Amino acid sequence: MRELTYREALYEALDQVMKKDERVFVIGEDIGVYGGAFGVTADLQQKYGKERIIDTPISEAGIAGACVGAAITGMRPVGEIMFSDFVVLSMEQLVLQAAKMRFMFGGKAKVPMVLRLPEGSGTGASAQHSGSYENWFVHVPGLKVVMPSTPYDAKGLLLASIEDDNPVIFCEHKLLYKTKGPVPEEMYTIPLGKSNIVREGKDITIVATSVEVMRSLEAADQLAKEGIEVEVIDPRTINPLDMEPITKSAIKTGKVLVVHEAAKTGGFGGELVSRIMESEAFAYLDAPVRRLAGLDTPIPYNRNLEYHTVPQVENIVEEARKIVQGVY
C-alpha cells in the first residue's frame, strides 16, 4: 500500500469529501491562499474556491460560531483553529451552543461540525502555542473528541467525523504531521468509539493517545529486548471511549500504564485509571495502575526544558520497567 504523511492523509480526506458532498466547507485563519499554518489545506482554495475554503479574520469565536450556525442549517463545516490553545476563545460557541442544541431542541436540531485543533509541544512554540486541552471537551456532554495517531487513522477518523451528526473536536498533534504510514486511496471511515490494539503483548498494557502512541511503540521495541512484552492500545477517540479492549488487556497483563502529553492534573489519564479500577479488571491487577503525563506547568520555550516537560520514550521505558519489576 502507498504511504502518505499524516498531513497528506488529512488533505486527501478533505479533498475527497469536498468532491463528494457540496455541503462540506472549511473555514479558518490562513487556510486559503497560505494553505494552512501546517499545510493541511494546501491548494484546496484553488480547487474549490473562496466560498468553500474560507479565510477568516483572527477570530476563533467567529470560526466556531460560523460552524455552529452553518451546521444547524444543513451544512457540514470543518473549522480549523490555527493553534489549539486559541480554542479557549471559542468555548461559548462550543460548550453552550454546539454541545447542547441537539438536546435542547428534542433531537430536531443536528450540529454536524468538526473543529480541527493542531495541538501539542515539540516545535519550540512556547506556552501559548503548545497546549493539549482535549480533556476540557471530554467533560462536556454532547461533544465527541478524536485523537488520531497515524496517517491511516487521521484520514478514516476525519471522514467519519465529518459524516457524524454531532460536533466533533478533532485533535491533531503537530509532531505527527510529517510522520508516514500506509493509507488507502479510496474513501473509508473508522467508527468513532473503537479502540485499537496496535501491538500485542503479555506483560504490561500501555494505553496511550496521539503522539504518545508512537513513543509507546518505540518504548515497547526497547523493552522487548529485555524480555518485556508490551501491549499498546490507542483509544483513538476518547469520547466516546471504547473500554472493552482496554479492560480485556488489563485482565490479561495485570499491569497498566496510561500515557498522555496533557498535564497530569485533571488529564484524561485519571479518567482511564478510574474506569479500569471500576471494571472487572480490578480483581486481576498485580500492580497499581500508573499514569505518565505532562508536568503541571506551561510549556517552556527552551527546547531542553520543553523536551522534559512531556513523556518521552525513555520515560515510558523506565516507568513500564518499574511496574513490571514491582518497583513503584
Strand duo 230-234 + 256-263: pairing: unpaired
Its pTM stands at: 0.97
Assigned domain for 284 exists: yes
DSSP string for 258-293: EEEEEESTT-HHHHHHHHHHHSGGGGG-SS--EEEE
Supply the CATH number for residue 310's domain.
3.40.50.920
The residue from 8, 29, 60, 80 that is catalytic is 60
Q: What is the pLDDT of residue 328?
A: 77
Whether 218 is catalytic is no
The residue from 29, 80, 119, 129 that is catalytic is 129
Element (H, E) at 304: helix 303-307
Smallest CA-to-CA distance from 151 within 187, 119, 176 is with 176
In this structure, which amino acid lies at residue 269? G
Q: Please give the tally of structural domains in the chain.
A: 2
Q: What is the pLDDT of residue 1?
A: 85
Whether 200 is catalytic is no
**Cα–Cα distance measured from residue 114 to residue 176, given in angstroms and rounded to the nearest whole number:** 19
- pLDDT tens digits for 246-287? 999 999 999 999 999 999 999 999 999 999 999 999 999 999
Count Cβ atoms below 10 Å from residue 101 Cβ, excluding itself: 18
Residues 140, 83 within the same domain: yes
Assigned domain for 188 exists: no
Residues 148, 237 within the same domain: no
Show the low-confidence residues of the chain (pLDDT under 70).
none
Smallest CA-to-CA distance from 10 within 46, 45, 38 is with 38
Q: 3-state DSSP call for residue 278?
A: helix
Residues 258, 295 within the same domain: yes
Residues 57, 203 within the same domain: no
Supply the CATH number for residue 107's domain.
3.40.50.970
Domain residues for the domain of 264 are 196-325
